[in-house]
Amino acid sequence: MARPAKWSDRVVAALAASQRHGLTLEELRCEIGHDGPAPEFSALYRAVEHLVGQGLVRRVALPGRPARHELAGHHHDHLLCTSCDRLVPVGCLAAGLDLAGLEGATGFALSAHDIVLPGLCPDCRVAT
């Protein structure tokens, strides 16, 4: 039945092989199904939760869209094309922000950030 370790390996392999940046759970399931049996959705969900908990996979939450998943690594932020759903990695978008000043002004201790800027990619700009 559920074999989280096995599915975890397949999830990591699928994310590493993917041409697309960031996969939804549905896309992950499809990718894994290309070279073997696809996991039950619940088993896949548990495997991904496990990997996120271990810090091996990063979940990128997108407003109004299914979250995407990528292998954790060097921090980066993302641009999102709202027409074709393309997710583009870019350097840290918080680099120019005064986070220390923000912490001082609000009393918050900021732990992490995950910035996604929506817009239209070059292909979709041409198409409109």
Where on the chain is the footprint of Zn ion (CB under 5 A)? 70, 77, 89, 92, 94
Please say which residue, 67 or 94, places its beta carbon nearer to Zn ion.
Answer: 94
Cβ count within 10 A of residue 125: 11
Please say which residue, 84 or 92, places its beta carbon nearer to Zn ion.
Answer: 92
d(CA 17, CA 114): 23
Q: At its nearest, how many Å lie between Zn ion and the CB of residue 113? A: 6
CA distances from 105 to 2, 27, 55, 99 (A): 48, 41, 30, 10
- The closest residue (CB) to Zn ion is 92
Q: At its nearest, how many Å lie between Zn ion and the CB of residue 75? A: 6
Q: At its nearest, how many Å lie between Zn ion and the CB of residue 58? A: 7
Q: Are 57 and 69 in contact (CB under 8 A)?
A: yes
Q: Is 85 left (phi over 0), alpha (psi -120 to 50) or beta?
A: left
Please say which residue, 2 or 92, places its beta carbon nearer to Zn ion.
Answer: 92
Please say which residue, 31 or 70, places its beta carbon nearer to Zn ion.
Answer: 70
